[in-house]
Amino acid sequence: MSTLEVPAVDVAALEEGGALVERMFGSLLGALEVATVHLGVKLDLYRQLTSPHTAAELAVAAGIDERYAREWLEQQAIAGLVTVAEPGGSDTRRYHLTAGQAAALADDSSPFYAGSMALLMGGLGAVLPSLPEVFRSGDGVPFGAYGDDVRLGQGLFNRDGFLQQLADAWVPALPGVADLLARPGARALDLGCGVGYSSIALATGWPGLEVLGIDSDDASVMDARANAEAAGLGDRVRFEVADADRLPVGASYDVAFYFEALHDMAHPVESLRAVRESLRPDALVVVMEERAEEEFAPGGPEVERLLGAASVLHCLPVGRSQPDSEGTGALFRPATMHGYAARAGYTATTVAPIEHDLFRFFVLAP
């Protein structure tokens, strides 16, 4: 009589697979809820909910369909993103934002504003279908292809840090930099300036400083000019569309800054070299970059996971959108910075004593 052999069950593999499925489910849930926040931000629904609204009232106020308004409101309340102000049936129930919810979702000037992250996700979603072919070909994706959401989301994500901490906390901790910015006739260069909040923060912190911000993205430069005018700084802050490795001839600067920009550039060494040649003899270069771990290691912490995912979906494709790209990516480790600076001819690269969850600061001496 024959017996049926039953394969041995690998309990450890089943447990590992189950844990991974559970993790993916949580990630899927989070991604879907961020997508619904993106809807609320784009349609300006959260700002309407700083006062109580029924679904019908929100539909009128925001100019959307009532049935969609009701579905979105119920989902947001289930998720704990908005609050039921007045219980009732689906037609009479009113919803609003608590003070904390409003700070995170309705007020884009708040230091706790989370809508910027939803915008970033929306922009990434716009290019996601094109990434498989990019991975096959080895080509890149221009920054502009990610659309308004990534440009505006990135600006909002960093704005509070620039306007509240750059002049008051970060620059004073950078050896010699504040003195250079304060001397008469000082000029600063902001490379990869985005929508301009870093340039505005520098000019606000040092009233005699002239700042030139450059960025290769036309839409970013247009936004930056509007933001500078709104801040009353149009006379001291200028913005130009240019590549960071092709600077104005004969220009002379006291400090050059790269704020979370060098790793996105196709030719970082060439840019650093061009900047070195445009500086005054005693000038300095400041590079604020991603705070990646010192070395690669599997199973990294949350910030490292964030940087790795952002690099796959955005930073590396953007960096490879030009020929002969260095292909840096967001996992910008200190050894990378030291290597680039040495190749560009800098004599010293110092890590500044600034503790920050996301950023690391370098000071380069030419």
**What pLDDT is recorded for position 4?**
66
Tens of pLDDT along 187-234?
A: 999 999 999 999 999 999 999 999 999 999 999 999 999 999 999 999
**What is the Cα–Cα distance from 344 to 268, expressed in whole angstroms?**
9
Asked which of 43-57, 203-217, 242-256 is least confident by mean pLDDT, the reply is 242-256
- DSSP-assigned letter for residue 157: H
Q: Which two tokens stand for residue 18?
A: 């189950």
In 10 A of CB 322, how many CB atoms?
A: 16
**What pLDDT is recorded for position 6?**
61
**What pLDDT is recorded for position 249?**
62
**What pLDDT is recorded for position 298?**
96
Tens of pLDDT along 148-180?
A: 999 999 999 999 999 999 999 999 999 999 999
**What pLDDT is recorded for position 245?**
83
Closest CA to 228 of 199, 206, 259: 199
Q: Contact, 115 vs 46, CB < 8 A?
A: yes
Q: Contact, 190 vs 259, CB < 8 A?
A: yes
**What pLDDT is recorded for position 219?**
97
Q: Contact, 364 vs 348, CB < 8 A?
A: yes
Alpha helices in the chain (DSSP H): 11-42, 45-48, 55-62, 66-79, 99-105, 115-127, 131-137, 147-161, 177-182, 197-205, 218-230, 268-277, 302-310, 316-319, 334-343
**What is the Cα–Cα distance from 326 to 280, expressed in whole angstroms?**
27
Average pLDDT, the chain: 95
Pairing label, strands 279-290, 253-259: parallel
Reduced to 3 states (helix: H, G, I; strand: E, B; else coil), residue 284 is strand
**What pLDDT is recorded for position 1?**
54
**What pLDDT is recorded for position 130?**
96
Burial class (CB in 10 A: 0-12, 13-18, 19+), 150: buried
**What pLDDT is recorded for position 26?**
96
Can you list the domains of the chain with their CATH numbers? 11-107 (1.10.10.10), 158-365 (3.40.50.150)
**What pLDDT is recorded for position 14?**
85
Per-residue pLDDT band for 11 (boundaries 50, 70, 90) equals confident
Q: How many residues does the chain have?
A: 366
Model confidence at 75: pLDDT above 80: yes
Mean pLDDT score, 335-355: 96
Model confidence at 259: pLDDT above 90: yes
Q: Which two tokens stand for residue 12?
A: 């450890």
Q: Contact, 264 vs 239, CB < 8 A?
A: no
Q: Which two tokens stand for residue 112?
A: 């706790």
Mean pLDDT score, 280-302: 96
Residue with token string 């002239």: 210
Sheet of 210-215, strand order = 237-241, 210-215, 187-191, 253-259, 279-290, 359-365, 348-351
In 10 A of CB 310, how many CB atoms?
A: 17
**What pLDDT is recorded for position 3?**
65
Tens of pLDDT along 87-128?
A: 999 999 999 999 999 999 999 999 999 999 999 999 999 999
In 10 A of CB 100, how many CB atoms?
A: 10
Mean pLDDT score, 55-63: 98
Residues 6+ apart with CB under 8 A from 218: 144, 241
Phi, psi of 248, deg, nearest 5: -55, 130
**What pLDDT is recorded for position 251?**
73
**What pLDDT is recorded for position 13?**
85
**What is the Cα–Cα distance from 147 to 241, expressed in whole angstroms?**
17
The secondary structure element, H or E, covering residue 362 is strand 359-365
Share of the chain above pLDDT 90, in %: 92
**What pLDDT is recorded for position 2?**
60
CA angle, 68 then 82 then 153, to 5°? 80
Share of the chain above pLDDT 70, in %: 97
Model confidence at 291: pLDDT above 70: yes
